[in-house]
Amino acid sequence: MRMIMSIRLGILLGVLVVAGCAGPPLDMPASLRLTQVSSGWFDAGPDSLGRNKLVPSVSFRLENSTDDTIRYLQLNAVFRRQGEEEDWGTAYVRAFGTEGLDAGRSTQVFRLQSGRGYTGEQAWSEMLAHRDFVDVEMDLFVKHRGNQWVRLDSVSVDRRLLMQ
């Protein structure tokens, strides 16, 4: 009898868990939008050889444009040099969990930057103007709950030095 009750309880808990995750996935590009977007190149400090290092950086807020609270969201920024397919760095962050983002509200500012960048002995302004400098774009992917990663937006990184 005890075994039957344990099995029934296990099945009930399983059904409740599945029901809590059920429902159609949100259309993320229609549900969230980037606001207050700012981009540029951040001084990452000297590298191991003492050279200046600049890395691409993008700051933004996410705004919930649905009528419901969105919970459990992850962000993954993929940086690529223009004209290239290969990733040139990534940045991952958990945007929010159970607290969620209420309808019509915006998040704090997220600042995502690549671990890769340009190094040189010259001044930062000279690095940005160098003939071999290739501009970078960031594709922002979002993952809601256990759904697949979806590309939310793309941002071209401005060729300017960020001080903070």
Q: Per-residue pLDDT for 123 more than 90?
A: no
83-120: per-residue pLDDT in tens? 999 999 999 999 999 999 999 999 999 999 999 999 99
Q: Which residue has the tokens 């040189």?
A: 120
Choose between 48 and 136: higher pLDDT.
136
Cβ neighbours of residue 106 under 8 Å, at least 6 residues apart? 35, 61, 62, 63, 64
In this predicted structure, the answer to whether residue 128 has a pLDDT above a threshold of 90 is yes
pTM of the model: 0.82
> Has residue 16 got a pLDDT over 60?
no
pLDDT band at 164 (very low <50, low <70, confident <90, very high): low
Mean pLDDT taken over the chain: 87
**How confident is residue 19, by pLDDT bands cut at 50, 70 and 90?**
very low
Instruction: Order across the sheet with 150-156: list the strands.
Output: 90-96, 73-81, 136-144, 150-156
- pLDDT surpassing 50 at residue 69: yes
What is the structure's pLDDT at 46? 84
Mean pLDDT, residues 7-25: 53
pLDDT at 18: 47
- How far CA 60 is from CA of 9, 19, 81, 131, 134, in Å, comes to 45, 33, 20, 29, 23
Strand partners of residue 96 = 73
CATH numbers and ranges of domains, the chain: 26-162 (2.60.40.10)
Question: Are 109 and 75 contacting, i.e. CB atoms less than 8 angstroms apart?
Answer: no
Q: Which of 16-20, 81-85, 100-104, 131-135 has the lowest mean pLDDT?
A: 16-20
> Is 90 exceeded by the pLDDT of residue 42?
yes
Find all residues with CB under 8 Å of 139, minimum gap 6, and list them.
77, 78, 80, 151, 153, 154
Percentage of residues in the chain having pLDDT higher than 70: 85
